[in-house]
Amino acid sequence: MAAAESYPDDLKYHEEHDWARVEGDEAVLGITWFAADALGELVHFEPPEVGSTVTKDQSYGEIESVKAVSDVIAPLSGEVLEVNEQVVGAPETVNEDPYGNGWLLRIRVADPGETDALLDVGAYRELLASQ
């Protein structure tokens, strides 16, 4: 079952509907409920390779529903430490739990200063309201 709409307070958000949970010098990345809902039931995640580098504001992978393909945009730059294999095997996990089991990547953050450019939950909700 798809999750109910929510945007946790402890995350940083990117305007392309991606989130980052910063934990020390690492961060976990994913897509927001809004993005997952707009795409519909996800059926494929094409992840980057572990050890490759993702760059803030650039695509690091693709996520697909039955009808649509979408680039996934990196909210922060860094080296890929881990890909969520549960999502690769069962992409609908993102619809069911976008901020928990539906995370996509764990990265080592290259520049902690980049976090300042991200939105807090209030600003992200305002962005959604304006769209």
Partner 1 sequence: MSATLLHTPLHERHVELGARMVPFAGWEMPVQYDGVIPEHRAVRTDAGVFDVSHMGELEVEGPRARDLLQGALSNDLDKLEPGQAQYTLLTNEDGGIIDDLIAYRVGECSYLLVVNASNRENAYAWLKEREIRGSDVRDVSDDCALLAVQGPRAIERLGLPPARPFTFAEASIDGVEVMVNRTGYTGEEGCELLCMSEDAVRLWDAVLERGAVPCGLGARDTLRLEVCYPLHGNDIGPETDAISAGLGWACALDKDFAGVEVLRRVKADGPERRLVAFVMEEKAIPRPGMPIEAGGEVTSGSHSPMLEVGIGLGYVPAAAAKPDTELTIDVRGRPRRARVVKKPIYKRED
- Looking at the Cβ atoms of 65 and 77, the one nearer to partner 1 is 65
Round to whole Å and give the CA distance between 36 and 108: 24
Residues that bind partner 1 (CB under 8 A): 2, 40-41, 43-44, 46, 62, 64-67, 69, 88
How many other C-beta atoms can be found within 10 angstroms of the C-beta atom of residue 39? Answer: 21
Is the Cβ of residue 22 or residue 32 nearer to partner 1 in the bound state? 32
For residue 48, which of 107, 110, 101, 112 has the smallest C-alpha distance? Answer: 107
What are the C-alpha distances in Å from 94 to residues 30, 37, 107, 116, 121? 8, 10, 18, 26, 19
- State in angstroms the smallest separation of the CB of 40 from partner 1: 6
Q: State which residue, 57 or 64, has the beta carbon closest to partner 1.
A: 64
